[in-house]
Structure 1
């Protein structure tokens, strides 16, 4: 007779979330042998102390981890197990990205689908723009389009736009060769990011549209393909058109502002913009001894406005040139961050209400 504290396989299956057949498989493979097997009936019995291992085994298999790797994780200490899981996930993601790229190439070749020329751009300029604008993307399983880069083409310019709902970045490029017709679509941001290194090393990149993606053609290099995202991109043009005019404008040295943000002690901060300059405060009133006053050319009314550091810093860091221009509309309105010497890169950043941030 089995020990009364042991569970028959059916009960253990319900406790662990594994099926009885899976438990038999894992027992036979040596990963999860039962505590006891009835020699007469062959019934398998498990102990309560095996539930944790069985649950971990199930979860590892749910992320498609092979049995040999599962065994290594189960038998490892916490640090080594964590590293093994990270390495497995990195491999899975790498395979998924490779599969996506291959799928775009396969779909673009089905039925000899033509590539429609969109524009020709300087490779280093295009790579810079892609990397700058993609800082405003977000990974949201419910809204995958927020991970994409919107490309809009007309005969005179190519406009790149991205938004994570808290920031919006847009940059306009002048094509080397004018486009023959207007074109617009949202392209997968991860695939563009992966292609940026090759694009940067190419003096000229010909961008073409296929039914399911774009093709980046470069001399002496293999074509790169990036898939299109089907969901509708947020109506950023309407948002830009509906913005009120700036009531305060401040032009600040970019390196000094970045240094103040990097050394800031809090995850939230406040800018106090006056005729004296831009004062970088924390979002907490009792910590204003951390103030940093930056020289700035300021016009308009004084304004106090707060931000999350993780929202403001990327917007400033991607600005072009030695100075950034802040167009301010009020403490609860989007701020436009522009390069003071070049207006083709524009970022909108949402402020926060400091009263609603956690203490």
Structure 2
């Protein structure tokens, strides 16, 4: 007999997923302890659980999954084959429809590219305190993308206007925004994406207390400080309009002691291996909720509060470290809404973490 944790480890299904499939009658444990309620699974159920995990990855509807498992256990290969073929035909039809839609989208994008004027010839200059610009880059660098299939995210956006330069980075699953005050701005407002190697070279120069001079000339960006100069070409890709992505409905806010909370997240309960869509592999999850007394609690695996929010634990630790504050404000909305990590005294510097849907 395997415990629910052992079956989760050996099958690739999360503990919460196994509980959900028990409640829905898809994979019922062979035995449930009458005193503790703990679930135990028989030897043959490992194969069923692994099959269930494969069917989940294909996106098969739950009703069909139940029939496949029933046919599998009853050695009804004809039924199983028909169900698999029917699902494959649905996927192929869906793929064909998706290709048609993508073809239309490419035509629409090509039309937009021909009608939107280029800003590659823009010239703009400003001065910012080196320490303030360094802090802004430190606050966002962790969120820069590394996926070669999404080169437009492989850098930090510098959004420059007359009073400030905003640094923005995202890899789709997290986003960070920070602001540094600017003076002496010459030229129009400009948005330019600086590749991460150049960002790192710029950050290495921002060690003094003096001013930093930032210049944009077409697709070339240059930072100059008393310690030297870093210059290079911007990414030849448009960064997403981050301003649309940070419009969040108000959530439940809680002020946390950042060092203590980082330690609690590091050593606290996790739900393992339930996400397969962030950076292409499974990750430990931290599950959070705001308690009635206004504090943030880390939920254990038995907590089924519907308002809890699950996030990638490594991403959460990165965001808490990048916050570089003794106290931070955590803002949790609906379980499907991004979680925000803000500085108490600076609403324009914050991180967002995309939630991970928990299997019930």
Q: Is the 8 A contact 2:214 2:223 kept in 1?
A: yes
Find the aligned partners of 2:154 and 2:267 in 1 and give their Cα distance.
29
Is the contact between residue 123 and residue 218 of structure 2 (CA under 8 Å) also seen in structure 1?
Answer: no
Choose from 294, 305, 314 the match for 2:318.
Answer: 314
1:345 corresponds, among 337, 343, 349, to 349
Aligned match for 1:222, one of 203, 217, 228: 228
Residue of structure 2 in register with 1:150 after alignment: 157
Is 1:188 matched with 2:184? no
What residue in structure 1 maps to residue 288 of structure 2?
A: 271
1:235 aligns with 2:252: no
Partners of 1:240 and 1:281 in 2: how far apart? 26
Unaligned runs of 5+ residues in structure 2 are 1-120, 271-283
Q: Contact between 2:290 and 2:332, CA under 8 Å: does it hold in 1?
A: no
CA contact (8 A) 1:321 1:340 kept: no
Q: How does 1:251-262 map to 2 (within 5 A)?
A: 251-262=255-266
**Residue by residue, what CA displacement relative to the aligned partner does 1:189-234 show, whole Å, maximum 9, x if unpaired?**
1211133121223611110113332111223x43211320011212
User: Given the superposition, is the C-alpha separation of residues 273 and 302 from structure 1 closer, same or farther in structure 2, using an over 3 Å criterion?
Assistant: farther
Q: Is the 8 A contact 1:117 1:206 kept in 2?
A: no
Distance 2:209 2:122 in 1: 20
Native 8 Å contact 2:127 2:214 kept in 1: yes
Equivalent runs, 1:272-291 vs 2, <5 Å: 272-276=289-293, 277-282=295-300, 284-285=301-302
**Which has the higher relative contact order, 1 or 2, with Cα contacts under 8 A spaced 6 or more apart?**
2
Contact 1:156 1:179 in 2 (8 A): no
RMSD over aligned Cα atoms = 2.5
CA gap 1:318/1:222 in 2 versus in 1, 3 angstroms: closer
1:271 positional shift: 1.0
**Aligned length, in residue pairs:** 226
**Residues 156 and 174, structure 1, Cα contact 8 Å, conserved in 2:** yes
CA gap of 1:122–1:223, structure 2 versus 1, over 3 A, is: same
Contact 2:129 2:181 in 1 (8 A): no
Q: Given that residues 122 and 190 in structure 2 are in contact (C-alpha distance below 8 angstroms), is that contact kept between their aligned partners in structure 1?
A: no
3-state secondary structure, aligned to 1:141: coil
**Structure with larger Rg:** 1
Deviation readout 1:51-80 (Å, 9 max, x if unpaired): xxxxxxxxxxxxxxxxxxxxxxxxxxxxxx
* Partner in structure 2 of residue 121 of structure 1: 128
Per-residue CA distance 1:309-359 (angstroms, 9 max, x = gap): 022111122124321112222011111210112223111111112218xxx
Shift of 1:305: 1.2
Structure 1 residue runs of 4 or more that deviate by more than 3 Å after TM superposition: 114-117
Partner of 2:206: 199
Pair 193,254 (structure 1): closer, same or farther in 2 beyond 3 Å: same
1:115, CA displacement in angstroms? 9.8
The 2-side partners of 1:177 and 1:249 are apart by: 37
Pairwise CA distance, 1:264: 3.0
> Matched residues in 2 for 1:128 and 1:168: separation?
16
Q: Which one of 249, 252, 274 corresponds to residue 248 of structure 1? A: 252
Choose from 336, 348, 358 the match for 1:332: 336
| Deviation per residue, 1:262-310 (Å, 9 max, x gap) | 223532121121123221134x339x9xxxxxxxxxxxx9931111102
Q: Which runs of 5+ in 1 are unaligned?
A: 1-113, 289-300
